[in-house]
Structure 1
Amino acid sequence: MVSVTSRDSFVHLHVHSEYSMLDGAARVNPLIAAAVEQGMPAVAMTDHGNVFGAFEFWRAATDAGIKPIIGTEAYLTPGTARQDRTRVRWGEGGSSGDDVSGSGAYTHMTLLAETTAGMHNLFRLSSLASIEGYYFKPRMDRDLLSQYGSGLIATTGCPSSEVQTRLRLGQYDQARQAASDFRDIFGPDNFFCEVMDHGLGIERRVMTDLLRLAKELTLPLVATNDLHYVAAEDATSHAALLCVQSGSTLDDPKRFKFDADEFYLKSAAQMRELFRDYPEACDNTLRWGFRSVPGRS
């Protein structure tokens, strides 16, 4: 296994397994096997809005000798209380495609358990999001994160996050305030600026401001690939899965689809080449190699 201190290694921290229903196509055992084959010291599970696969993932990873990092891609209310079902729009009328996800119902955030206590808090958050915050998706809010954020690592998230949505709408001050709020909730060492590059314009449009925000708030960078399937050749199968989700077919030009075929478990070399201008963003993924395995601390 490659040393977790090696600059040639990498840990995938944004991963959607088969438990991201009709969205993730990475089955747990093949995912773990691929990470082990790549010599990666750890791998995360961050399914959409749930932690249903946590035990299966933990067991498969520990049996294979690789560190499991249990997390979720959480849904958050757009600045409102979790019981509030008011849809929110932050932009002008012509910017609907860049506005809050779910027609104004939720944003996204990547959460990862750092410790066993953090993993238990993650389970509490997931349960309360479903019981108290469900509106199209199981939603958390700032109040819940403040109560149960201990032992968790959080990031600025994907293009559907609050920070990136604000940046895309040209609302830098609001994006900076949101990132500052989350840094205060999780702590300066536990909140990261997440950078992605799947060759998509929606990501590249905000990169300059995202890096500026990270510098101003002293947020460490962390590189991720929004993994939805294990191997590059699984892209077509994943597209078919999305058709099942949306009730369409592969022949439908208007079907819901990903605009790239880059959402697989890339090698450390691929990720480091992709983020060659920001090597610390890849180095920081290895920080998880020094942290305890949830369930064993």
Structure 2
Amino acid sequence: MVWFETILVVLTLLTGFIWLLDKLFLAKRRAARSGLLDDEPVLVDYSRAFFPVLAIVLILRSFIAEPYKIPSASMMPNLLIGDFILVNKFAYGLRLPINNKKFISIGEPKRGDVVVFKPPHDPENNWIKRVIGLPGDRISFQGNTLTVNGQAMTYKMLGTYTGRGVAQGTDSAALLEEDLPGRTHKVLEGLDNLVGAGEWEVPAGYYFVMGDNRDNSEDGRLWPEVSPKDGSPIPNHNFLPEKDLRGKAFLIWLNCEGWFCKGSFDASRIGTKIQ
């Protein structure tokens, strides 16, 4: 969340400034006045202790990997409610904390990548979807069949999906394997419920994203034309701007439901690579 990132940056800068100020000036004045080098105020003592920890957390979280928890069923069957995942923060370039501005370009999303981002209509929250369309692609979704640049995807029927935990009740969904160019993966489709039909051409600087749970995902097919907050128009509202990317999801490190994992716990998902 933006507020957590802001607090982390502010605390890191504040404790670092206090520690440096004391190191360069205040400690010498105290020593000259009292003759004691270790006569530190409590604020300086705490700043010196916490600054290295906060700095390490900020660097790891901003530039290496950041943890997230999956809150919804939109990426089932590959990501479940209660999955804790790690997101690679440098796969698509290094970005500044808070404003997410890229300052070093490293790579670009590939078709099939599972990405975390802040959608244009909900910039305060992080979402997760799969990249379906790259800049310049023509995307069509009709009758639960995805078409990319005129090529209809092929599907292999794997059976009927059996939901687990809070996902129980999705047993009527069909479990299929979708042969997306560059990334074969599993998807869920309703047997009698078609959602989000349309055709789109991805503009430069944007991506088209969809959830793997095709009939239960608020993705690029359904994003609003205007901001829910102030009613202002959203340019290219069906698409994810490159500037709003947060990183690439790559690993599940825990799965549990409820506060402090008091709900169900699935050890089999620990260490699962996100495909």
Q: What's the TM-score, normalizing by structure 2?
A: 0.26
- Higher strand residue share: 2
The alignment's TM-score, normalised by the length of structure 1, stands at 0.24
Q: Which has the larger radius of gyration?
A: 2
Higher relative contact order (CA 8 A, sep 6+): 1
